[in-house]
Amino acid sequence: MTYDTQTIDAVISRQQIVDVTMAYCRGVDRGDVAMLADVFHDDATVVSGAFNGNGKQFAREICKLVETTYEQTFHSIANQWVEVEGDGAVGETYVIAATTTRGDGAWGSTETLTGGRYVDRFERRSGRWAIAERTFVLDWARTEPSTRDMTGGMYGALDLHGTRGKADPSYAFLGT
């Protein structure tokens, strides 16, 4: 079976777009402003609720918000649909985000589980795919008292815990 160059380019482009979406999640969860800013073109726009405006500014502001508000954040994405046409693409990606707030609320620390979708417009400029426009669509959310401080059981001996920044174990394994 043979494939034309347009089909091959579309397959490679889809994978590069998936990588951009994964880097977005990792950038937010690790509070890595540089990684997060890199997924956006300079003139990109974001509508997220917490911040609406330029993508590069979003990267700075959301990382500040994550650092001051949350003990941890965790994004998991699935069901990614991407349609590529030349140097442009549109996509919809399902996301589940888990966050644990710092212990200042009425319940102390809280955990929120949020389900939604990223609706994106991607562009390839100078050979690099990045987000040109992102809108977050909220589908559902639930909040409850945190169980983050629970220890023992099958995780009692585990000494690797996620954290923001370069201290997270993933940087030792994956590098920067």
Question: How far apart, in whole angstroms, are the C-alpha atoms of residue 55 and residue 51?
Answer: 10
Extract long-range pairs of 47-50: CB within 8 Å, 24+ residues apart.
Answer: 47/134, 47/135, 47/136, 48/134, 48/135, 48/136, 49/136, 49/138
The predicted structure's pLDDT at residue 161 = 66
> Within 10 Å of residue 90's Cβ, how many Cβ atoms?
16
pLDDT at 176 over 70: no
Write down the pLDDT at residue 61: 97
Q: What is the pLDDT of residues 18-64, one digit of tens each?
A: 999 999 999 999 999 999 999 999 999 999 998 999 999 999 999 99
Domains, in order of start, for the chain: 5-69+83-92+114-137 (3.10.450.50)
The values of phi and psi at residue 104, to 5°, are: -95, -10
Give the model's pLDDT for residue 148. 61
DSSP per position, 1-41: ----HHHHHHHHHHHHHHHHHHHHHHHHHHT-HHHHHHTEE
Res. 156: pLDDT tops 70: no
Residue range 104-123: mean pLDDT, rounded: 86
pTM of the model: 0.86
